[in-house]
Amino acid sequence: MSVSDYRNKILDRVEKHRSSVDHDLNSILNLANSNEKLSELVGVINDKDATPEQKTGALSTLNAVSIFSSAARRLQPEIVNALRGQIEATDIDLRHGAIATLAAMKDDIVQERLLEEVTSDKPENEKLVPTASALAMLGRDDKALPSSVLREIMIDPPSKESQIEAIRQMPSDPEACEDLISLMKDDSVPLEARVMIPEMVSEADPDAFLSAAEDMLNTSGADSKLAPWLVNGIANAAVQDANAATSAKELVKKLRKGAPKSFQSAASTLLDKDNASDD
């Protein structure tokens, strides 16, 4: 095959692909602007004879077009009612998809159900969705997830995943700092959860964090996997006690020699920031 023939063959493939994409895009736009077609999708979700796969497919299509569809916005009450009817669907994918979509809409009914689930004593496999997923869904609305619930779950979690998510969703709350510091010091808590705590506590209670961080660095040194995050927290802590801040920074400077690269990088950021403030 000549170079010219090969080039023409490639260009032909590109043109066919572009035509296919244009066709798909036109199909999506036609669907998004059609009350009738969108109502048919809602009908599939409501249809008792439709399979879970068909209902999940209809839901996925609605989610895809709802982002830019004015017709979907007009049909939102019907869509919400259809999805509420799937909150307790036996099919996991359908149930989770319906709940997640309603949670994204900040639907009060699904928020109430999710809050009931995360505070219940039911085993994880008997809940509508796992606790970690429920917390992430509720976290879309700042008003839907009380910090008291998050504190309870992060202290006594039904799963490691839920503990991580509870800490991730925890707002800046000085009353939670004591519990957070205790978790930060606990090696049995997943590292993914512990690394989030220094930034949280250094903002909410910088003096308490500085004391805890210095104690941990004195005990575990620079080789601890958490150490770089402790140093980052020290850098961010606006402490009232200047002597305590100086002591922590001197400790970091001392530990930096021969430390892992991640610690050295965090230490450099702290010390450079400190030098800049002196200037």
Q: Report the distance separating Cα 32 and Cα 265, nearest Å.
A: 50
Query: CA of 171: how far to CAs of 135, 165, 166, 167, 255, in Å?
Result: 13, 12, 10, 9, 32
Q: Are 245 and 237 in contact (CB under 8 A)?
A: yes
pTM: 0.83
User: Residue 194's closest CA among 216, 174, 214?
Assistant: 216
- Give the chain's length: 279
Tell me, what's the pLDDT at 1?
A: 56
pLDDT digits (tens, 9 = 90+) for 105-161: 999 999 999 999 999 999 999 999 999 999 999 999 988 899 999 999 999 999 999
Query: CA of 97: how far to CAs of 84, 178, 180, 277, in Å?
Result: 11, 37, 32, 50
pLDDT digits (tens, 9 = 90+) for 230-266: 999 999 888 777 787 889 999 999 999 999 999 999 9
Tell me, what's the pLDDT at 70?
A: 85
Domain boundaries, the chain: 60-171, 174-279
Instruction: Compute CA 143 distance to the chain's CA centroid, rounded to the nearest angstrom.
Output: 16
Share of the chain above pLDDT 70, in %: 87
- The SS3 assignment for 259 reads coil
- Pick the range with the lowest mean pLDDT from 27-36, 55-64, 88-97: 27-36
Instruction: Compute CA 90 distance to the chain's CA centroid, rounded to the nearest angstrom.
Output: 26
Q: Which position has the token pair 């359908």? A: 94
Tell me, what's the pLDDT at 279?
A: 47
56 against 173, higher pLDDT: 56
Q: Report the distance separating Cα 279 and Cα 269, nearest Å.
A: 15
Enumerate residues 6+ apart whose C-beta is below 8 A from 248. 210, 213, 214, 217, 234
Which helix (H) or strand (E) segment is 218 a member of?
Answer: helix 206-220
Q: Inform me whether the pLDDT recorded for 69 exceeds 50.
A: yes
Q: Inform me whether the pLDDT recorded for 59 exceeds 50.
A: yes
Tell me, what's the pLDDT at 12?
A: 52
Gyration radius of the chain's alpha carbons: 26
pLDDT digits (tens, 9 = 90+) for 181-217: 999 999 999 999 999 999 999 999 999 999 999 999 9
C-alpha distance across the termini of the chain, in Å: 69
Tell me, what's the pLDDT at 5?
A: 56
The DSSP code for 224 is: S
Q: Are 227 and 221 in contact (CB under 8 A)?
A: yes
Say if residue 84 is exposed, middle or buried (CB neighbours under 10 Å; 0-12, 13-18, 19+).
middle
Q: Are 104 and 97 in contact (CB under 8 A)?
A: no
Share of the chain above pLDDT 90, in %: 69
Tell me, what's the pLDDT at 245?
A: 84
Tell me, what's the pLDDT at 273?
A: 74
69: left (phi over 0), alpha (psi -120 to 50) or beta: beta
Give the model's confidence band at 61: pLDDT under 50 very low, under 70 low, under 90 confident, else very high. confident
